[in-house]
Amino acid sequence: MRGKELRRSLSVLPIGTVMKLTSLTARQIRYYESQKLIFPQRSDGNRRLYSLADVDRLLEIKDYLDDGLNMAGIREVYDQKQRESEQRKNQDHQLTDDDVRKILHDEFLQAGGLKTPSAQQPQAPLQKPL
């Protein structure tokens, strides 16, 4: 189940569709972009292309506006959210069982051939590659 995020981040929707899905006007959607709240892709012909994740974000923005936030406030929310996740990325935690298994597996391969792995400690600090 790794392709789900990929699907959600595929930029395939034209602004007209996004208008219907969010009940926002084109003016609003473009304005939020000018305010650095969303970052749609562009097609070859310069059309904006949105992902499902973008649509969700626009719905979030609507909620924040209903709560009385202004553009700067919403931007701050997202900036902070991003800073947090950046931090998490720089820590050695957040390794799933699967990651650990893969790392161990790779190290065994590098250590020589396809021998049956025996118990062993990793030599380098565990860290996700970029």
Partner DNA sequence: GCTTCATGTTATAAAACATAACATGAAGCC
Partner DNA sequence: GGCTTCATGTTATGTTTTATAACATGAAGC
Using the contact rule CB under 7 A, the part of the chain among 3-11, 41-49, 90-98, 104-112 near DNA is 41-49
Strands (E), the chain: 41-42, 48-49
The interface partner of residue 36, options being DNA, a copy of itself, none and the CB cut-off 5 to 8 Å by kind, is: none
Least CB distance from residue 28 to DNA, whole Å? 5
Q: How many residues sit in the footprint of DNA (CB under 7 A)?
A: 23
The interface partner of residue 26, options being a copy of itself, DNA, none and the CB cut-off 5 to 8 Å by kind, is: DNA
Give me the DSSP letters along 31-53.
HHHHTTS---EE-TTS-EEB-HH
Site membership for a copy of itself, residue 13 (CB under 8 A): yes
The interface partner of residue 30, options being DNA, a copy of itself, none and the CB cut-off 5 to 8 Å by kind, is: DNA
CA distance 41 to 11: 7
Q: Using CA of residue 67, residue 69, residue 75, residue 78, what is the dihedral sign?
A: negative
